[in-house]
Amino acid sequence: MNTLALRNQILRFIYNEISLKEFEEWFVSNLNDLLKENDAFTAAVELALAEYSDGIRDLENLKEYFHSILQEFNTINISYQSRTSPSRVQYTLSGKVIRSTARLPNDLSIIVRSVIEE
């Protein structure tokens, strides 16, 4: 669930829990895995960092943009294998509210909620 980890790191940066340098180091070290999961979200983050490096964005604007892409890419897709058939579930994040388009087995639902709320 690297996309969740990226969301978490962005939030930590926005709320000044980590510096931009710490965020960039984490992002670069995880970039290959992130690109496998959600190209559009990761690409938006990568573009914003490049724009900051080129002077197109200042630090405050970068944080505002990160906040906006968190809102834009607020859906998590989860696939799992049930005993009868593969299933896909889509979770939408809205603050701490989690809405699901399908019912998960109870144990998987607990795992998803704990990861999202970290």
**CA dihedral defined by 54, 34, 94, 96, rounded to 10 degrees?**
-110
Q: Is 38 left (phi over 0), alpha (psi -120 to 50) or beta?
A: beta
Mean confidence (pLDDT) of the chain: 74
Q: Are 56 and 39 in contact (CB under 8 A)?
A: no
CB atoms inside a 10 Å sphere around CB 72: 11
Residue 14 has pLDDT above 60, yes or no: yes
Max mean pLDDT among 2-11, 68-77, 106-115 falls in 2-11
Q: Are 115 and 1 in contact (CB under 8 A)?
A: yes
Of 47, 51, 36, 48, whose CA–CA distance to 5 is shortest?
A: 36
Provide the pLDDT for residue 56: 96
Higher pLDDT, 93 or 48: 48
DSSP SS3 for 55: coil
Residue 72 to residue 87: CA distance in whole angstroms: 24
> What number is the average pLDDT over the span 41-51?
93
Provide the pLDDT for residue 78: 54
Higher pLDDT, 21 or 98: 21
